[in-house]
Amino acid sequence: MNQYDSNRILDLTKKILYIPTKNVSEASCYILNTCHIREKATEKVYHDIGRIKKEFKNKKKPIVLIAGCVAQAEGDVLLKKEKYIDAVIGPQSYHEINKLILNFEKNSKSISSTEFDVIEKFDTLNHVKNTDSRVSSFLTIQEGCDKFCKFCVVPYTRGAEFSRSIEEIIKEAKQLVKNGSREITLLGQNVNAYNSEGYRLSDLILEIEKISELKRIRYTTSHPIDFTDDLIQAHKISNKLMPLIHLPIQSGSNKILKKMNRKHTTEEYIEIIRKLKKVNSNIKFSSDFIIGYPGETKKDFEKTLELMEIVKFINSFSFIFSARPGTPSFKLKKVDYDIAKKRLNIFQEKSKKVKTEYRKTLLDKSLPVLFENETKEKNIYFGRDEFFNSVIVKSNENLTGKIKNIKITKVSHNTLFGKITSKLVHKDFAA
């Protein structure tokens, strides 16, 4: 979501004649858009500020503005501790960014804007053209979360769940497609909680896919307790919805899930997967895992490993528990770091093995790949298949924005390599 927010901040600042530059040293305004999910986010802010100080040591100081969730959570502390920072603005207030910049230009006084006015934010953004022209684009449809997982800062930095109107979303989607997008990823902190005047995520998907030049639809990030039957059926009905679902679970232990306040069990999670596989056997899954959550025993950890074996996640994102200030889990007794680190290494090796086994099955298969851009190397193109695997192909034809059938000739851990083929039959899809 930070990428979407960053793009929209750029769209807003163009209104006051600010344009992005690749040369940091010539910038008159430096905006750092931040995430606060894991530890050391604040430290990274100070590190970046130090880098900017060094860059502008003998030059006119730029306006320095910290945006995003770190600004929301620790804005006043940042302003007090680091005088080089001129303004902080939270993720639900960034529609005010032009006002902050202009006020600072006039008054040179530090400013903090961290109100939770998400309705006003999108009312403003709806009147600002989205200029994102990438082949694969992001589109925020929902923000905030009401689930209050005990480890998570999102309810405190993004606020309560809010869904944009379907009309606003369709309008922005059409603009993105007009700009050149052929794939749109629908975004939300809890995207499948989308609900606007009775329209659910499934309804939105089926409406968006009516845009003829749009070829692919994805969504992220989902919560298991909001994975309703209508969304499951959308994976059967839709012609453009991709068969990769990112569905975080965090742990394979019901005891730990309860401690986290996840409000679901592993059995319920597996049942969702069973239902999805029933409507579309090609569907694959990725997930997030927290290793070493307070109270996690060896047995709990082994259950997480078992879940990896059961589901066979083709991708997983795993981290040692990161205690976030202000969350209920912050003061809980941590698992010994060395133990947590050892478990993380074991889990990641397991994840790597599962991923490697899956990717080996793709060798000599023909896959539809949407190409996003030419790489720095001439005639070498980057794209992604339906399961979000990175694919590299050599071609004298400009492949950007096109879907081509690619026979996979080489497989590495993170990248597939192939050549264009005219043949594509159903049985060639990854199963």
Question: What does the pLDDT read at residue 410?
Answer: 97
* Residue-level pLDDT at 424: 47
Could you tell me how many helices (H) and strands (E) the chain has, helices first? 13, 19
393 sits in the region (left: phi over 0; alpha: psi -120 to 50; else beta) called beta
Q: Is 210 exposed, middle or buried (0-12, 13-18, 19+ CB in 10 A)?
A: exposed
3-state DSSP helix/strand/coil % of the chain, to nearest 5: 40, 20, 40
Backbone phi and psi for residue 318, each to the nearest 5 degrees, phi listed first: -125, 140
pLDDT for the residue numbered 39: 62
E strand map for 61-113? 63-68, 87-89, 111-113
Q: Which residues pair with 288 in a beta bridge?
A: 317
Q: What is the pTM of this model?
A: 0.86
Residue 46 tokens read as 């100070």
Is the dihedral angle over the CA atoms 403, 408, 410, 415 positive or is it negative?
A: positive
Q: What is the pLDDT of residue 38?
A: 64
Residue pair 187/140 in contact by the 8 Å Cβ criterion = yes
The one-letter code for the residue type at 387 is F
Domains of the chain with CATH codes: 2-117 (3.40.50.12160), 120-359 (3.80.30.20), 366-428 (2.40.50.140)
What beta strand segments (E) does 221-263 contain?
Answer: 244-246
Q: CA distances (Å), 413 to each of 238, 247, 285, 352, 353, in order?
A: 30, 21, 17, 8, 10
Check residue 426 and give its pLDDT.
Answer: 41
Is 78 within 8 Å of 66 (Cβ atoms)?
A: yes
* Per-residue pLDDT in tens (0 to 9) along the chain, 431 residues: 678 888 889 999 999 999 998 888 889 999 998 876 666 777 888 889 999 999 898 888 999 999 988 888 888 888 888 989 999 998 888 888 998 899 888 887 777 777 767 778 888 888 788 888 899 999 999 999 999 999 998 888 888 899 999 999 999 999 999 999 999 999 999 999 999 999 999 999 999 999 999 999 999 999 999 999 999 999 999 999 999 999 999 999 999 999 999 999 999 999 999 999 999 999 999 999 999 999 999 999 999 999 999 999 999 999 999 998 889 999 999 999 999 999 999 999 999 999 999 999 999 999 999 999 999 999 999 999 999 999 999 999 999 999 999 999 999 989 999 999 965 444 333 33
